[in-house]
Amino acid sequence: MDKATRTRPTGAARSPAKAPGRPRSDATRQSVLRAAFELLTEGGLARFTIEGVAARSGVARTTIYRWWPKKGALAMEGFLEATAPEIRFPKTTSAVADMKAQLRLCAKLLRGRAGRIICGVIVEGQTDPETIAAFIEGYLQPRRREARAILQRGIDSGEMRPDLDMSALLSALYSPMHLRLLLGEPIDDAWVDSLADTVLQGCLATPTAPAQVRTAAPPRSA
C-alpha cells in the first residue's frame, strides 16, 4: 500500500461539492437591510436604488443584485425587517380585544415614517407591478394571515359568529386606514377605536347594545 493510499481515509478525501454562489452572511444581510430602510426613510421609494444601498452598506452591488434582483423586493424586506416587531399581534383571552389593540399598533405605525414609506410604495406600485406585488406579498398578506388566525380563535371560542366573511371583515378593518393614509387624513386612536367598534359589533356571537344615545319616542297625540 503506497503512502498516498495510507494517509487518505476512505470517503473523507474529497470535500463535498459547494452549491453555486455564496451563502448569505447574516451580518451582511442585516447591513443591507438597515441601509435599505434608512434610504427609504430619507427619500422614499421613488429615490430608492440598489446602487444607493450598496454605497450606504458597503456591500458589493453584485452581491445585492444576486440576493435581491428587484429593488421593490429589497425595499419591502428592509421595511419589514425594521417595522414587523412594532405591529405584532397581541394575544389575550379575547380575539376582539386583540384585534382592537393590533389596529391601534397599525395606526401608530402609519402615523410615523413607516406610513410615509407605505404611502410611497402604494403610489409607486400603480405604475410598477413588481413593487405592488412585493408590498402585497411581503406586508399585506402576512398581516391578513395573522388577523385571520386571531379571528378564527374568536370563532372557536364562541366569542364571534361562525359565519363571518373573513375577507370582507379584514377589508372593512384595514382598508379605511390605508385610504386615510393616502388622503392625508388623521388616523388617531379615537377614530381607530370607533372603526373597530363599528365593524366588530356585528361580528360578535352575542352582540351588545350599541353605546349611543337612543332617540326618544315621539309623544302620543292627544
pLDDT at position 196, please?
A: 95
- The CA-based angle 70-76-82, given to 5 degrees, is 140
pLDDT at position 70, please?
A: 84
Question: Is the same domain home to 95 and 166?
Answer: yes
Residues of the chain with pLDDT under 70: 1-24, 207-222
pLDDT at position 24, please?
A: 62
Question: Is the same domain home to 37 and 114?
Answer: no
- Asked whether residue 97 is assigned to any structural domain, the reply reads yes
pLDDT at position 133, please?
A: 85
pTM across the whole model = 0.71
Grid coordinates standing for 35? 441601509
Which residue stretches of 58-216 are H helix? 61-67, 71-83, 95-111, 113-125, 129-135, 141-156, 166-183, 189-201
pLDDT at position 16, please?
A: 38
Question: Is the same domain home to 178 and 122?
Answer: yes
- How many alpha carbons lie under 13 Å from residue 157 in its C-beta half-sphere? 14
Domain membership of residue 143 as a residue range: 88-201
pLDDT at position 22, please?
A: 52
- Asked whether residue 221 is assigned to any structural domain, the reply reads no
Question: Is the same domain home to 108 and 65?
Answer: no
- Asked whether residue 220 is assigned to any structural domain, the reply reads no
Domain of 60: which CATH number? Answer: 1.10.10.60
Question: Is the same domain home to 92 and 195?
Answer: yes
Number of domains in the chain: 2
